[in-house]
Amino acid sequence: MGTPLLWRAFGSVSGLTRPRRNRAAGAASPHDRDRIFSADVKQEDQFQYAKTHCLSSYYSVFVARLAIMVMLAILIGLLTILTWHFTRSYTTKSLNGLAYGLRYELLQRPILRMWNILNSTVEITTAQVKLSEYVIRKYNKPTSQAEQIELYEMMKEVTWALFASRKALNAITINYRNGFVQAFHRDHRSNNTYYIYSDLSNYSITSSGPSSSEPLSSLRGWNDQSIHGNLSAIWYREPLDPTTGEKIGKARPILPDDLINIAGISQVPDGTATWHVAVSKYSDSPLLSAALPVWDPSRENIVAVVGVTTALYSVGQLMRELVEFHSGHIYLTSQQGYLLATSSNTPLLNNTPKGPKLMMANESQDPVIRAGAEWLKRTYGDNYPPSHEVHVENARLGDQHYYIDSFFLNLKRLPMVGVIIIPRKYVLGKVEERAFKTLIILICASLCILLIGCLCILILTNGVSKEMKLRAELISHLDARRRAEASSNYKSQFLANMSHELRTPMAAVIGLLDILLCDDCLTNEQYSTITQIRKCSTALLRLLNNILDISKVESGKLVLEEAEFDLGRELEGLIDMFSVQCINHDVETILDLSDDMPRLVKGDSARVVQIFANLISNSIKFTTSGHIVVRGWCENLNSINEDTKFSLEHKKPLCALKAKLLKQHGKTIIKRALNLKKDSTAILWFEVDDTGCGIDPSKWESVFESFEQADPSTTRLHGGTGLGLCIVRTLVNKMGGEIKVVKKNGPGTLMKLYLLLNTPTDTPELLHQENFAQHGISVVLALHGGMGRSMMSRWLAKKGVFTIEASDWNGLTQTLQELFHPRRSGSPNSSFRLPYSIVEAEMNLGDRIVAQNLVIVIDIALLDLSTEIWKEQLRFLDRYSRRVKFAWLLNHDTSNAVKVELRRKQHMVMVNKPLYKAKMIHILDTIVKETTMSSSDERISRSVREGEPHECLEMENIPFECVISSDESDTTEAANNAEARGDLQVEVSDQACYGKHIERYDVFNGSEGKFDEGRCEEQGNSGSGNPAPNRGKSLEGLRILLAEDTPVLQRVATIMLEKLGAKVVAVGDGLQAVNSLNCTKSADSKEMNRVMPGLVGTERSPTYDLILMDCQMPKMDGYEATKEIRKSEAGTGLHIPIVALTAHAMSSDEAKCLEVGMDAYLTKPIDYKLMVSTILSLTKRTDP
């Protein structure tokens, strides 16, 4: 019932809040709200939804709480009412029954008494009648007065006997036919007994004679008149002793007023017994009088009437007694309502002037009786129920409740009504009080229970609602979190999608910067600025890449490729790349892959490279000196051969790892195994070991978190975002591996990781492991870096190649001297040590090794390149060149001059640093090939050496190609570590340029003459053809005579014109110019007869298309020369254009020039364009 109301209220509340919110939003952003804040609004809506949801749940809880309370209230109320009702109604009912019985009983007893009184009265009356009849019969027909008197005396005796026997009797009267009256009267108040008789003189026996014949009519004639009419009669009263009946006083006539009721014939009109209630002056209570006729023996005439009067006093007495005991009031009334007896002491008679009269019940002086009578009268009026029985249980009289019961006693001639009024309090007072108390207690108790119950419910539901609220909050929080996650996911996805869009412009920027850097015409400042820009761009690109990679991984878009690739080669490329960076840092980068590494693996090469690139660049960043070693070894999952080198270190974790691996990746491995039965999964272990600052052990785990750096100062010192290692771990995990930082001896960090990669089993085993020991190769490793050198020598020793190490130039020279001049230079303090076998050192080392192939791998850094000493050093080495092979390790920035010099000295094997196994194998292969060739055929080997420049170039290019290819693949796939690569790219491109340039240079030098010829030829060809329209050669085919005395100008002008394609003849002064012109003319003139004029191009005697004439010249100046030329031309019709060249920049000069016959005018310095246009305009004009 309350629920819909609540809902409506809630609805109105929410309806109120919503528009307000909207209004607020509208005020905040009137425009673009929909677009820009749509997301916000949506969120807010959702929030609102959650809030309303919460609110609704709150309301529902509230409603439920209310409902439970109401139910409880109803229940308790019902219980209370039922309890009260049952307790009360049953008690009341039984009590009512009891009360009825009591009332009935109470009323019955006075009625019984009444009845008794009546009965006794009747009995006495009857007895009196019987006795009277007997006596009268005996004295039948008294004829005489004496007899009459005797009869009366007799009657008096008899009557006295009866009267005395009954003390309760008030009076016995005998009224004879003749009007004589005998009566005994007892005054209860004065306790006197009187005998009352009338005067005999007036009465005669005879008088009754006539009446006997007509009993009925005589009876009528009798009537009251005999008493009241017989007023003349004198009544006497004689006090008697109440016990003996002896006459104690003198008879005294009494006034008729004092007469007692004497029953007359009128009271027995039909000859039967009658009853009536009478009052007397002597008694304050009504009297019950019964009258009975006395018949004569023949039963024809009534001879006398006997009346017996009994006071009803005793009934009232009884009632009083009863009422005293039971309380309440009882009264008896006649049918007419006259009071007969009451339980109270109030008088029953009205003292009127005519004597006492009966009073009505409702006139009683007792208030209760009067009230009861009035109530009865009011309620029933005259319409009593037929039996006159009334039972009212709850009549209100005054201010009290009473039971009123009335009974009807139907006596013949005297019907009576008994009424009993008992206060309700008497019967039900205690009960009702108790009931009321019970009710109050019950109500109180139920109220208490209700209150407590409500409280309990409140508390209980409060807890529930609190829980619900919390739960709702939790749900909303979860929702918010999910939304936040989703939005973060969107961000990641967005970034992942944006990656291409972001990278492309960056790549363009960097590419353009590279082009700009290659440009020659940059000043130092510009160059440094652009370099800075480039560095910044690469840094930005790296950052972008990292972020994008992370987002890609986070958004789950990173899908690893599955393609075969050469892991070794990729790593070598990487090392090549980083070594360039490291050389500036004095850090050695070493790649140490064990031989059992599978050459080809399946996986995502770009990502694998990225892992190592990140790790190595990280190491480089923190390593200022020392070395960075990348170690790798393999472990076949199916048959784990514990590597001897690392077995001690990894035995324990390996077993655990294997178990873990099988657990973790068991499924995928099985799947893979099912899919690719040919493949077998290998665990590739790697270590990246550096000698940098190291990582605090507490940070070993956290460095792999995103944006986490081991030291907060790192960002300041080294930059970076802390994403690198996170990406690495993600990638490693994606490849089914793990990475962690491992404790290492000494300074630095040791990162250990493994990858699960498939290796195609069907790949043919690469048989590059030629047994170099067979070829008797010995190696002298003259390398700077100690770590790499020792590693390499160990590896070579394992391969059966004898190695000697040397760390610097002195060491190398000593080694060489020891090897080749052992006896001479057996100095005891030599720093050279044979690390492996002293026994061998004891032997004639020189012979032994020289007999074999001795390869000296020499680091270019051993040479002193800063000064010119390196040439001396080379010369020193040259002495051994016939007996040993040199393999040079070049730096990326080794100058071309050095390379050229080396090549010149026939040191053909050159590789770039760093040296790793593949390169070593390559070197040894080359040398082995060479030696086999030379041993087989000496002459051929010579010729091979002649042609070796190409080979050497080829070989040198191998690492370049390698690097370039890897670099290209990197840039196409993902430009990670762009800086390192970018640097490398620059270096590589420079080197490539140098290489190319040298090549070109060689070719150029080799075929210079030929080239000139070719060019001339070409010139001639083009000269015969139409002049090329391009600007470069716009003066193609023109022959120009240049007259200029200043050698500088002459040279400049010549070259300028030649560059334009013209053929120039330069002369020193005007005279020469005139002469040369005349000379050609004379030659021409001969031929011109034969050959068509205007035909140009005859080789021997060229005519000139144009003359450039300096104005100021020695011997003959320009003006003079022009005048001369024009003079000679006169008449021939020829007009050779002459252009003045002058430093005089005045108009007068120009006028002077034109005056002497020049065609145009050019000022010095010669303007290139102006000159071209001038010449062209002049020659075209003259062209046929």
Q: Where do contacts with another protein occur on this chain (CB under 8 A)? A: 520-525, 527, 893, 895-897, 990, 994, 997-998, 1015, 1045-1049, 1051-1053, 1055-1056, 1058-1059, 1110, 1112, 1143-1144, 1164-1166, 1168
CB atoms within 10 A of CB 1005: 8
149 vs 1055, which CB is nearer to another protein?
1055
Shortest reach from residue 1045's CB to another protein, in Å: 7
Shortest reach from residue 1002's CB to another protein, in Å: 13
- One-character DSSP codes across 352-368: ETTEEEE-BGGG-SSHH
Shortest reach from residue 1051's CB to another protein, in Å: 5
Shortest reach from residue 910's CB to another protein, in Å: 16
Residue 564 in tokens: 């075969």
894 vs 976, which CB is nearer to another protein?
894
Angle formed at CA 268 by CA 267 and CA 272, multiple of 5 degrees: 140
628 vs 898, which CB is nearer to another protein?
898
Give every strand in the sheet of 884-890, ordered side by side: 802-806, 777-782, 853-859, 884-890, 909-912
In eight-state DSSP terms, residue 205 is: S
Shortest reach from residue 945's CB to another protein, in Å: 25
- 728's CB contacts (< 8 A; 6+ apart) are 610, 611, 614, 615, 704, 739, 753
Q: How deeply is 394 buried, as exposed, middle or buried, from its count of CB atoms within 10 A (0-12, 13-18, 19+)?
A: exposed
948 vs 1149, which CB is nearer to another protein?
1149
50 vs 522, which CB is nearer to another protein?
522
Helices and strands (H and E) in the chain: how many: 31, 32
d(CA 287, CA 358): 10
Q: Where are the alpha helices (DSSP H) in 974-1095?
A: 978-1006, 1008-1024, 1047-1059, 1070-1090
d(CA 688, CA 33): 55
Residue 1094 in tokens: 């205007």
Shortest reach from residue 1022's CB to another protein, in Å: 15
Residue 447 in tokens: 């109220």
d(CA 565, CA 482): 41
744 vs 1144, which CB is nearer to another protein?
1144
Cα-trace Rg, the chain: 80
Shortest reach from residue 901's CB to another protein, in Å: 11
Q: CA–CA distance from 965 to each of 993, 1011, 1049 (Å)? A: 16, 35, 52
Shortest reach from residue 990's CB to another protein, in Å: 8
Q: How deeply is 863 buried, as exposed, middle or buried, from its count of CB atoms within 10 A (0-12, 13-18, 19+)?
A: buried
d(CA 910, CA 922): 11
Which helix (H) or strand (E) element contains residue 813? helix 809-820
Greatest extent of the chain over all pairs of C-alpha atoms, in Å: 248
Shortest reach from residue 805's CB to another protein, in Å: 32
Q: CA–CA distance from 666 to each of 638, 661, 673, 676, 907 (Å)? A: 12, 7, 10, 15, 55
151 vs 1049, which CB is nearer to another protein?
1049
Shortest reach from residue 1015's CB to another protein, in Å: 8
Shortest reach from residue 35's CB to another protein, in Å: 53
34 vs 520, which CB is nearer to another protein?
520
Shortest reach from residue 1125's CB to another protein, in Å: 22
876 vs 1168, which CB is nearer to another protein?
1168
Q: Which long-range contacts (CB under 8 A, 24 or more apart) does 525-533 make?
A: none
525 vs 762, which CB is nearer to another protein?
525
Shortest reach from residue 897's CB to another protein, in Å: 6
CB 223 within 8 A of CB 266: yes
280 vs 1072, which CB is nearer to another protein?
1072
871 vs 1164, which CB is nearer to another protein?
1164
524 vs 644, which CB is nearer to another protein?
524
